[in-house]
């Protein structure tokens, strides 16, 4: 097994286990007919504090669950793979702090589902790429934007019955963490990149000797 393949499989483990836990809970809810909504976040109520940990595990129905499942798997694996050091603390912070902000500031209603976590992961990936200014980090950032850029509308109260507060606080938490961890996980530089840089420098020197293009006459 190659090193990159092993790294990918290791990055896949925790997101997959998390999804399996959510599926087991949803299956238990379906078979028992018991609603777990009381394990959601109930803002500013002591009884609602438990939801900071449990709310992302609870979904209203299968459609709600699967709307979060693929983004959780893709984004979670991406962060573990591309940002192995940052992910150790960034993901738990996104999980807990997003929900804590929901408990503090959201509407007085039960908030359930993992969409706040999804927004936090997407935000972290997007802004990390922009801030690091590495070609591959920027590529990952643009890919995240392409796949999930449409989610931005979800941070606004545009749809009844949707916890836009979870989306907003997840988005903001991911942004702050991207700034905080901006110096962690520098992308590995390969030899071929140095060769490309040296080739560009050589070409620039040759062009300069033939005639510096920046010193041509601008006035005719």
| Length of the chain (residues) | 220
Question: pLDDT tens digits, residue range 139-183?
Answer: 888 888 888 888 889 999 988 889 999 999 999 999 999 999 998
Judge whether 200 lies within some domain. no
Helix axes 84-105, 115-132, angle to 10 degrees: 130
Spatial distance between the Cα atoms of 127 and 178, rounded to a whole number of angstroms: 6
For residue 150, the model assigns a pLDDT of 83
CB atoms within 10 A of CB 62: 13
Spatial distance between the Cα atoms of 123 and 45, rounded to a whole number of angstroms: 28
Output the average pLDDT for the chain: 86
Judge whether 173 lies within some domain. yes
Judge whether 26 lies within some domain. yes
User: 73 exposed, middle or buried (CB, 10 Å; 0-12, 13-18, 19+)?
Assistant: middle
CATH of the domain at 16: 1.20.1540.10
Residue ranges with strand state E in the chain: none
Question: pLDDT tens digits, residue range 39-69?
Answer: 999 999 999 999 999 999 999 999 999 999 9
Q: What's the pTM?
A: 0.83
- Residue numbers of the domain that contains 133: 3-190
């Amino acid at each position: 097994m190659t090193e990159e393949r092993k790294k990918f499989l290791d990055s896949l483990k925790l997101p997959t286990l998390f999804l399996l836990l959510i599926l087991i809970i949803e299956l238990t809810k379906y078979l028992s007919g018991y609603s777990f909504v009381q394990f959601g976040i109930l803002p500013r109520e002591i009884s609602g504090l438990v939801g900071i940990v449990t709310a992302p595990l609870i979904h209203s129905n299968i459609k709600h669950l699967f709307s979060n499942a693929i983004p959780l798997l893709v984004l979670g694996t991406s962060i573990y793979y591309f940002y192995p050091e940052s992910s150790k603390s960034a993901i738990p912070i996104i999980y807990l702090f997003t929900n804590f902000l929901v408990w503090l500031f959201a509407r007085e209603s039960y908030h359930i589902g993992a969409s706040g976590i999804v927004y936090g992961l997407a935000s972290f990936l997007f802004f990390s790429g922009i801030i690091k200014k590495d070609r591959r980090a920027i590529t990952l950032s643009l890919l995240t934007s392409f796949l999930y850029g449409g989610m931005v509308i979800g941070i606004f109260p545009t749809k009844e019955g949707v916890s836009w507060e979870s989306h907003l606080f997840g988005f903001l938490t991911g942004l702050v963490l991207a700034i905080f961890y901006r110096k962690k996980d520098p992308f590995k530089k390969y030899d071929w990149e140095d060769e490309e840089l040296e080739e560009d420098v050589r070409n620039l020197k040759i062009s300069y000797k033939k005639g510096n293009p920046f010193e041509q006459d601008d006035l005719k």
